[in-house]
């Protein structure tokens, strides 16, 4: 089952919108997940913590995370999935569009096993 963890560069407002529209969707932010204990951690530590909880990371970070995933794949380490966003597709401040796109992804692919799965979030009408 798809459960989202938004990285610390995504606003908590997105969590609030998703929860208001679809309370059955599990969504959290690094900003408040486990009382913010995971804020400021490096990607590998955060991804391992997310995997332990079965949370798929949502992030705009297409610079460092892809290389980390390649390294992990080569060594056999798995992750709980990553959903990438692109500023050209959905602006980082367009909280409503991000929330709607997460909901659409959950509706269409929420029942899949997200282990080692990657997705790119698309704007929905």
Total domains in the fold of the chain = 1
- What radius of gyration do the chain's Cα atoms show? 13
On whether residue 125 sits in a domain, the answer given is: no
Range of the domain at 9: 4-120
Q: What is the pTM of this model?
A: 0.94
* pLDDT at residue 86 in the model: 95
- Give, for all 125 residues of the chain, the pLDDT tens digit: 999 999 999 999 999 999 999 999 999 999 988 777 777 778 899 999 999 999 999 999 999 999 999 999 999 999 999 999 999 999 999 999 999 999 999 999 999 999 999 999 999 98
Indicate whether 86 belongs to any domain. yes
CATH of the domain at 11: 3.40.50
Cα 94 to chain centroid distance, Å, stands at 16
Q: In this predicted structure, what is the pLDDT of residue 26? A: 97
Alpha helices in 54-94 (DSSP H): 65-75
The per-residue pLDDT for 114 is 97
User: What was the pLDDT predicted at 32?
Assistant: 87
pLDDT value, residue 37: 73
Contacts of 74 (CB under 8 A, 6+ apart): none
């Amino acid at each position: 089952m798809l459960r989202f963890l938004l990285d610390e560069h995504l606003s908590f407002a997105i969590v609030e919108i998703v929860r208001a529209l679809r309370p059955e969707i599990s969504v959290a932010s690094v900003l408040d997940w486990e009382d913010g204990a995971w804020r400021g951690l490096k990607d590998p530590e955060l991804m391992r913590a997310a995997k332990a909880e079965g949370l798929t990371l949502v992030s705009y970070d297409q610079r460092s995370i892809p290389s980390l995933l390649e390294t992990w794949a080569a060594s056999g380490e798995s992750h709980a999935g990553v959903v990438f966003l692109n500023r050209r597709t959905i602006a980082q401040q367009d909280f409503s569009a991000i929330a709607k796109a997460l909901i659409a992804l959950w509706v269409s692919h929420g029942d899949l096993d997200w282990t080692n799965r990657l997705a790119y979030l698309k704007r929905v009408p």
